[in-house]
Amino acid sequence: MSATRDALLAALDAYVDPLIGRGLLACGAVKRAEVTGGRAQIELELGFPAAGYRHALAGSVAQAVRAATGLDADVAIGWRIESHAVQKNLKPLAQIRNIIAVASGKGGVGKSTVAVNLALALHAEGARVGILDADIYGPSQPRMLGSRDKPTSPDGKHMNPIVAHGLQAMSIGFLVDEEQPMIWRGPMVTQALGQLLAETLWRDLDYLIVDLPPGTGDIQLSLAQRIPVSGALIVTTPQDIALLDARKGLQMFRKVEVPVLGIIENMAWHVCTHCGHREPIFGEGGGAQLAQQYGVELLGQLPLDMRIREQADGGCPTVVAAPESDLAQRYRDIARRAAARLAYGVQAPDFPAIEISDD
């Protein structure tokens, strides 16, 4: 029996899931592995939510075990989301296990739409998720979430988050009229965002998605230095101008020691609704080149699609408006990949060795 269990463990460690990049035993995902009555009983515990992936993973693991040991397997898959490291001299916030910043070097690349759909995708995958709209000058999350509710306060000092589509949300847009401009200098914006983060009564979040304002100026740098961030996502389009600014955003996070979980290429192509012709309006291959250049992963590509815009403008983003659509599945795949990178580590780029010779 021991030899059979050893063979089972060896088979599990030999199975390398593409989202994890290591054997299931090596990454600590095997919670239980036994052989009972001639069948393998396997219980896996992942470090990321995987409601839309666990059935496929269970089937693949069972097939691998059968091929290696001849045993049929019953595979149960769950997950437990841990807090991960943040910048030096900062500590994770109470009630928030992980903060993930969604950033872009410039505006107009669809970052806020990507951010809200990723938050909703993580929620759909089985996580407790919040979203903080950090764009004080141009808050968009209240409209995208379809809520104009005002936050309530239990004590006059703290605010309850607005709950929309299962997300806990906070934005300056919930506190002021939609037409009111925020004519504030940088230090006031930084202070306001700190208050929105610290004075909101977040409730046991696995992930807080922070929709950062575009750019890499003083405000973004201050936020990256003051908010305990576990990882960052860079949103870009394939366009050369967007890629130039996306590089700056990526480098900013590296300077403040925030791991970049990956690149998301938005508006990668457009498919004509009349003839079905697919055309890369903003160019192609830019996101992949950026990811390769900086040794990070291209987490996924999203099309320029009118439905995404219409659903976000209507207060019901794609992941909840059309959960079975190809668009929603793309968001969920990107969300799983990002969460897996956070759970199991960002692979460092392989730099070539530098040799000096007199030749």
Bind-site residues for ATP: 105-112
Judged on CB neighbours under 10 Å (0-12, 13-18, 19+), 65 is: buried
Please give the Cα distance from 176 to 159 (Å, whole number): 14
CB neighbour list of residue 358: distance below 8 Å, 6 or more residues apart: none
Specify the residue for token string 């054997």.
Answer: 23
**Which residues make up each annotated binding site?**
105-112
Take residue 342 and report the two structure tokens written for it: 């956070």
Tallying the residues shown for the chain, one arrives at 359
How far, in Å, are 126, 158, 207, 282, 299 from residue 335 at the CA level? 11, 30, 11, 24, 8
Judged on CB neighbours under 10 Å (0-12, 13-18, 19+), 286 is: buried
In the chain the first and final C-alpha atoms are separated, in Å, by 62
CA-CA-CA-CA torsion for 132, 214, 347, 16, nearest 10 degrees? 60
How far, in Å, are 12, 62, 79, 225 from residue 122 at the CA level? 26, 26, 13, 25
Please give the Cα distance from 314 to 322 (Å, whole number): 13
